[in-house]
Chains A and B, each alone.
Chain A
Amino acid sequence: SQQGEEDPQALSIQEGENATMNCSYKTSINNLQWYRQNSGRGLVHLILIRSNEREKHSGRLRVTLDTSKKSSSLLITASRAADTASYFCATDAASGTYKYIFGTGTRLKVLA
């Protein structure tokens, strides 16, 4: 399969706790992006990290990238009930195909 793998598949935490999701991919990439999707809706872009970057922050989000391990992580700090959603990583392969391939996703549930 061309898809990347994400773990865990599902995560349930209490409000205020941190949530960490991991993404592994298979090929060399130009960049990796994280998206959020609320049930039955479109995608919301969260953050982009380029292949020459190791860490990026955006508000309560922290993304790391380890190209040697072909993996990335998304950390959401001080989670809120509104963070309940599915989270996907998407990779832009360096092969020049210009298409984004999505990971399997993590379903996050934040309990109030």
Chain B
Amino acid sequence: GAVVSQHPSRVICKSGTSVKIECRSLDFQATTMFWYRQFPKQSLMLMATSNEGSKATYEQGVEKDKFLINHASLTLSTLTVTSAHPEDSSFYICSARDWGTAFNEKVFFGSGTQLSVL
């Protein structure tokens, strides 16, 4: 089945630094990818929709300049947390739709990235 690879799985950084998280679709082309954020014991909150070759669409309340999304190819989207602060510590997870399947309903999730900002 289709696989979405997310890297790194865990990152610890100092406050003020930037962190880049990669999301790759390994065996299908993903024109659309999604980025979610999850706080402990809470649900996944959609942050933004990443569109290949165009600007990302951010959900209400998500800072565009804080969470930079780049989707330069059909298999790779990156999320950069700029000038990270302790309150950005969270579990980030990406997903990608496989438009090649019927009903376009197949969506696959990466394994997530645990970000800890000291």
Interface, chain A (partner B; CB < 8 A): 2-3, 30-31, 33, 35, 40-43, 45, 48, 50, 88, 92, 97-105, 107
B107 within 8 A of A: yes
Q: Mark B99-112, 1 if CB is under 8 A from A, else 0.
A: 00001110101111
Interface size class of B (residues with CB under 8 A): 20 to 34
Q: How far is the CA of A45 from the CA of B111 in the complex (A)?
A: 12
When distances are taken between beta carbons in the complex, the residues of chain B under 8 Å from A43 are 44, 93, 109
Q: How far is the CA of A42 from the CA of B91 in the complex (A)?
A: 9
When distances are taken between beta carbons in the complex, the residues of chain A under 8 Å from B44 are 43, 88, 102
Nearest Cβ on chain A to B11's Cβ, whole angstroms: 14
In contact, A42 and B103 (Cβ under 8 angstroms): no
In contact, B46 and A41 (Cβ under 8 angstroms): no
Interface, chain B (partner A; CB < 8 A): 6, 32, 34, 36, 41-46, 49, 59, 91, 93, 95, 97, 103-105, 107, 109-112, 114
Main secondary structure of the interface of A (DSSP, over half): strand
When distances are taken between beta carbons in the complex, the residues of chain A under 8 Å from B34 are 99-100
In contact, B109 and A103 (Cβ under 8 angstroms): no
Nearest Cβ on chain A to B87's Cβ, whole angstroms: 19
Nearest Cβ on chain A to B84's Cβ, whole angstroms: 19
When distances are taken between beta carbons in the complex, the residues of chain A under 8 Å from B42 are 104-105
When distances are taken between beta carbons in the complex, the residues of chain A under 8 Å from B43 are 3, 88, 102-105
